[in-house]
Amino acid sequence: MKFPQDIFKQAHELGLVNCHVSESCGGMGLHTLEGCIIAEEMAYGCSGVGTAIEANTLASMPVILGASEEQKKKYLGRLIDAPIQAAYCVSEAGAGSDVAAAATTAEKKGDKYILNGSKMWITNGGVAQESGGWYFVMAKTDPTASAGKAFTGFIVDAQSPGVTVAPKLINMGQRCSDTRPIFFDNVEVPAENIIGQEGNGFKLAMGAFDNTRPPVAAGAVGVARRAMDEAMQYASERKTMGTTINQHQSVAFMLADMAMNVEAGRMLTWKSAYEIDQGRSNTMYASMAKAFAGDACNKIVADAVQIFGGAGFNTEYPVEKLMRDAKIYQLYEGTSQIQRVIISRHMEARGPGGLAP
């Protein structure tokens, strides 16, 4: 359950971390589609490692979208120069799917803001502090304004006085990923660390998801493909009633359904990535990809365990780990239900014929 620091360092050396950072800041400047291809392969090996790496992208995205060039070079440059971690601090105990309910505050005092509150389920929250990294924090600066203008995005050095990182949460799956509660007690943040302008935080936080939900969906595809491959291999060796079980129609059809959903999930994921790479709004497609791939992944890993039978219920084979790892894809970066809310609203706005090719 330890954070895979050695693997993270190797991935950093190979350029597989912070792929979306522009060349002007020392990065590779990869597109979202290219990131999705990497994310699928990472998750095929271990989605916990993939999440540990992808968390840097999520934290970086508000900076990429809205920060000044000086901020980008300073904070994105730090991620390029050394294998440190960053974390996206938006969710709270009472504000998961309902992001607008976030209660963390930032009060302006002179040329600084005083940050108070707590964040929950923060991926890379502990290792970002240990490595000398930083946080993107969304905090309320105007309690009287609507959600769209009430919050501001800040870059907060993780080792700032007043930042307390709680013990690591023990998750169902992806256990090497570092998930923590984080507390901010009168943390002083320079006004120069505001991303964009005051009141733009909610837009930045939500805009990041258009870029990061496709790679998350790709991760779900990777886990699903791994489960399918494990099930195919086992079904080609396990014999019942005088033949390998992949010759039984009930099992063969389960494998066929897996293949259809893996391919469909990948194509929808790639479409959502391609749309934003072309400079078009992909919000609806990103939600479609995230919901479809996450739900399909959970069905596929459950069917893989079923094909393994009793052997799939213990740790001798990897499918039990894949089943535990898969669940988070229906939860983080917006639950499957929230994705359907987004999709339905976009459908309503487009009207009949709005999805014509």
Look at residue 152 in the predicted model and tell me its pLDDT: 98
Q: Where do we find the tokens 């203008």?
A: 149
Q: pTM to 2 decimals? A: 0.97
182: CB partners within 8 A, 6+ apart: 87, 89, 118, 119, 122, 125, 135, 163, 164, 165, 166
For the purposes of burial, counting CB atoms within 10 Å of the CB of 241, is it exposed (0-12), middle (13-18) or buried (19 or more)?
exposed
Q: Average pLDDT for consecutive 10-residue bins of the chain (357 residues)? A: 95 96 96 98 98 97 98 98 98 94 97 98 98 98 96 98 98 97 98 98 97 98 98 98 98 98 98 98 98 98 98 97 98 97 97 90
Annotation marks residue 333 as catalytic: yes
212 CB neighbour count, 10 Å cutoff: 25
Among the options 92, 316, 333, 348, which is catalytic? 333
Q: 132-146: per-residue pLDDT in tens?
A: 999 999 999 999 999
CB 160 within 8 A of CB 186: no
Distance of alpha carbon 308 from alpha carbon 330, whole angstroms: 23
Look at residue 356 in the predicted model and tell me its pLDDT: 84
